[in-house]
Amino acid sequence: MSDTATSEHSEPDTAAEHHDTEHAHPSDWAYVKIAVVLAVITALEVFTYFESVVDWGVALVPSLIFMMIVKFYLVATWFMHLRFDSKLFGRMFTAGLTLAVGVYLVTLTVFEFWV
Amino acid sequence: MSAEPLVADHAHDVSDHGHDPHATTTGLSHTKLAMWVFLGSECLLFGGLISTYLLYKTRGNGRTLPTDVFDIPFTSVSSFVLLMSSLTMVLALSAVSRGEDEAGRTWLLATALLGGIFVGGQVYEFTSFVREGVAFTTNPASSAFFTLTGFHGVHVSLGIVMLMSLFVASVKGKLTQRNAETVEIVGLYWHFVDIVWIFIFTVIYLIPAD
């Protein structure tokens, strides 16, 4: 496993945004650090299950959703390289994700899920 | 007419996992773009399955609900295993990109193994649910649960097939630094399957049903 950075993050080509194909990826050590953060967050999530240890009360659901979003973001930006790749890739994914979240929030509302 | 920077382009080939930026109209790999569009559409598929489960999760028809038989400690371990497979996947890509084929094969195999452990855990979970009286047709809640997690399990299984195909290609010398983009594209699929599980683990397993 290499401990040296393969390259540093470079700014997108200002002349042609869609041409910013040269994506610099972080070092293996950076990936390991991200994985450790993900593992710690997962441990915290599981910790919430044991109510006898700490009573999270009304903070439980918001905390779980926040931790889920952080994990989602870390995997998408670091492991899937959205942080370093062309913005077009991210837009394609975000379009599908946003559409899905919008459509199904409306669906859940129509079926009175929140009531 | 301007002169083409041939030397720079060739150097670019290697840094961009073998993709030649001048080979496409966008300057981006169309294969990779197609994978991102596909993953965007997958959000709609899993969104539908998750929403269906959320709507049906309390419809037990007087019989045992999936939430009654959840084994959170066990599923937590499975989730951790799948999460760590994302690390080994990205390390595989990193190794292949550097031309370290042996290390690349090791990480690909590790990723497939971790994925196999996850799927094995899911099979165990399903069989234990059935033993406890929660089968696919027990009630609407169980149907929605098995459909959602089953679809995810199929995705992981397909990912394992892809990983093993890459491993075999690498053994045959057909997977090198120049076509590392193939590893990256399979990696995108694998990481997506991981983030879908991140969502499922929180929304379906950890957030209390009531």
Domain shared by A72 and A92, yes or no:
no
Whether A49 and A72 share a structural domain: yes
Determine the pLDDT at residue A24: 67
> A109 and A76 in one domain?
no
Q: Are residues A47 and A92 in the same domain?
A: no
Query: What is the domain extent for residue A97?
Result: 85-115
Amino acid B17: pLDDT:
64
In the prediction, which pLDDT does B123 show?
97
DSSP string, B66-123: GGGS--HHHHHHHHHHHHHHHHHHHHHHHHHHTT-HHHHHHHHHHHHHHHHHHHHHHH
- In this structure, are A66 and A112 located in the same domain? no
Same domain, A96 and A72: no
Torsion of CA A6, A11, A15, A20, to 10 degrees: 50
On whether residue A90 sits in a domain, the answer given is yes
Q: Please judge whether A96 and B37 are an interchain contact, meaning their C-beta atoms are less than 8 angstroms apart.
A: yes
C-alpha to C-alpha distance for B87 and B94, rounded to whole angstroms: 11
Chain B contact set for A100 (CB, 8 A): 43-44, 46-47
Burial of A94 (0-12, 13-18, 19+ CB in 10 A): middle
pLDDT band at B26 (very low <50, low <70, confident <90, very high): confident
Are A18 and B26 inside 8 Å of each other by CB?
yes
Fold for the domain defined by B30-206:
Four Helix Bundle (Hemerythrin (Met), subunit A) (1.20.120)
In a domain, A17, yes or no: no
* Number of structural domains chain A divides into: 2
Instruction: Tell me the per-residue pLDDT of B147-203, one tens digit each, with 9 for 90 and over.
Output: 999 999 999 999 999 999 999 999 999 999 998 999 999 999 999 999 999 999 999
- In chain A, positions 93-112, which contact chain B (CB-CB < 8 Å)? 93-97, 99-101, 103-104, 107-108, 111
Nearest CA in chain B to A2: B95
d(CA A93, CA A77): 12
User: Is there a single domain that holds both residue A33 and residue A78?
Assistant: yes
Instruction: With CB atoms and an 8 Å threshold, state whether A93 touches B207.
Output: no
Q: Is A59 on the interface with B (CB under 8 A)?
A: no
Q: Are residues A100 and A79 in the same domain?
A: no
- Cβ within 8 Å, pair B27-A99: no
Query: d(Cα B64, Cα B13) in Å, to the nearest integer?
Result: 57
**Residues A34 and A58 both lie in one domain:** yes
For residue A54, being part of any structural domain is answered with: yes
Can you give the residue ranges of every domain in chain B? 30-206
- Residue A38 domain flag: yes
pLDDT of res. B209: 75
- Residue A11: inside a domain: no
Claim to verify: residue A78 and residue A43 sit in the same structural domain: yes
B46, A100: Cβ pair inside 8 Å? yes
Instruction: Tell me: do A110 and A77 sit in the same domain.
Output: no
Q: How sure is the predictor about B20, in pLDDT bands with cuts at 50, 70 and 90?
A: low
Mean pLDDT to the nearest integer, B124-141: 97
The whole-model pTM stands at 0.86
Is the Cβ–Cβ distance between B132 and B64 less than 8 Å? yes
Q: What is the pLDDT of residue B21?
A: 62
Q: What is the identity of the amino acid at B83? A: L
Complex confidence, ipTM: 0.86
